[in-house]
Amino acid sequence: MIEIKNLHASVNGKEILKGINLTVNAGEVHAIMGPNGSGKSTLAQVLSGHPAYQVTQGEVLFEGENLLDMEPEKRAHAGVFLAFQYPVEIPGVSNSYFLKAGLNEIRKSRGQEELDSMQFLKLLKEKMKVVEMDPSFINRPVNEGFSGGEKKRNEILQMAVLEPKLAILDETDSGLDIDALKIVSSGVNKLKSPKNATIVVTHYQRLLNYIVPDVVHVLVNGRIVKSGGKDLAMELEANGYDFIREEMLQNA
């Protein structure tokens, strides 16, 4: 589904990603773990096209297409979704209006008919059940006045409505209490299918108890230094990131 080859990216002239190679196939869940400042969130932002980051080298193919050439909205149309670490507030714009506009743009780009208000509302209500969200959120302004947990849940709701092919979850577990974590994870799991893929970016192993990855990658200083099965995450949890650093030093 997505093939990342030797990806380098920088922000304000400072190189953050220093040659990422990663392939994710349909039906797979990949976890990207790593210490603070290793470039995990940068990778998520670069894949979705945030203008603050410059790609200096490498390529990314999404279903064979050059992803890096596309504007962020075109990437969304193609099926890339980013669940933001810090969801943005848009005062005065209702959640449903926002989401309907997004969904219809995506549908339009695929030659599908746009949903009218009634059809959309029906869909939205169904999806809200998946993430156990109160219907009062339909008309509240996007993320405004939401608690940290509500914002994260709202991200997963958007994911449920937009049905992306590739979902990138950027620190979706941060700021969630255990109940919210369970709800969000179960939402993500319900949306999993053999046709879509998920990249979970996280600092802690905790989330991976609920969203079980097929592959775990460890990102340190802008490079993937180790990949393995879900046990790797347990190992990291037990030993911290230092053991990876030590391994690297020994190999050097």
Partner 1 sequence: MSETIEELVSQEYKYGFTTNIETDTIPPGLNEDVVRVISKKKNEPEWLTEWRLKAFRVWKTMEEPRWPNLKYAKIDYQSISYYSAPKQTKKLNSLDEVDPILLETYEKLGISLTEQKRLTGVAVDAVFDSVSVATTFKETLKEKGIIFCSFSEAVQEHPELVKKYLGSVVPYADNYFAALNSAVFSDGSFCFIPKGVRCPMELSTYFRINASNTGQFERTLIIAEEGAYVSYLEGCTAPMRDENQLHAAVVELVALDNAEVKYSTVQNWYAGDKDGKGGIYNFVTKRGKCAGVNSKISWTQVETGSAITWKYPSVILLGDNSIGEFYSVAVVNNRQDADTGTKMHHIGKNTRSTIVSKGISAGRGNNTYRGLVNIGKNATNSRNYTQCDSMLIGNKCSANTFPYIEVKNSSSSVEHEASTSKIGEDQIFYCKQRGINTENAISMIINGFAKEVFKNLPMEFAVEAQKLLGISLEGSVG
Instruction: List residues near partner 1 by CB under 8 A.
Output: 48-52, 71-73, 75-77, 81-82, 84, 87-94, 96-103, 105-106, 109, 117, 120-121, 124, 138-139, 141, 158, 162
Distance (Å, rounded) from C-alpha 45 to C-alpha 48?
A: 5
Distance (Å, rounded) from C-alpha 198 to C-alpha 83?
A: 11
CA distances from 29 to 97, 144, 167, 211 (A): 31, 31, 10, 8
Nearer to partner 1, 81 or 241 (CB): 81
Minimum Å gap between C-beta 12 and partner 1 is 14
Picking from 182, 184, 136, the residue whose alpha carbon sits closest to that of residue 157 is 184
Beta bridge partner(s), residue 55 = 9
Nearer to partner 1, 100 or 226 (CB): 100
Minimum Å gap between C-beta 246 and partner 1 is 38
Picking from 202, 195, 196, the residue whose alpha carbon sits closest to that of residue 184 is 202
Minimum Å gap between C-beta 162 and partner 1 is 7
Nearer to partner 1, 138 or 248 (CB): 138
Minimum Å gap between C-beta 200 and partner 1 is 17
Nearer to partner 1, 89 or 247 (CB): 89
Nearer to partner 1, 136 or 250 (CB): 136
Residue 92 CB burial class (10 angstroms; 0-12, 13-18, ≥19)? exposed
Distance (Å, rounded) from C-alpha 77 to C-alpha 247?
A: 41
Instruction: For 32-61, give the DSSP string.
Output: EE--TTSSHHHHHHHHHT-TTEEEEEEEEE
The token pair that represents 179 in the structure block? 């109940």
Contacts of 10 (CB under 8 A, 6+ apart): 16, 17, 53, 54, 56
What b/e string do you get for 100-124 counting C-beta neighbours within 10 Å, with b at 16 or more? bebbbebeeeeeeeebeeeebeebb
Cβ 155 vs Cβ 84: under 8 Å: yes
Minimum Å gap between C-beta 161 and partner 1 is 9
Minimum Å gap between C-beta 83 and partner 1 is 10
Minimum Å gap between C-beta 100 and partner 1 is 6
Nearer to partner 1, 109 or 193 (CB): 109
Nearer to partner 1, 88 or 249 (CB): 88
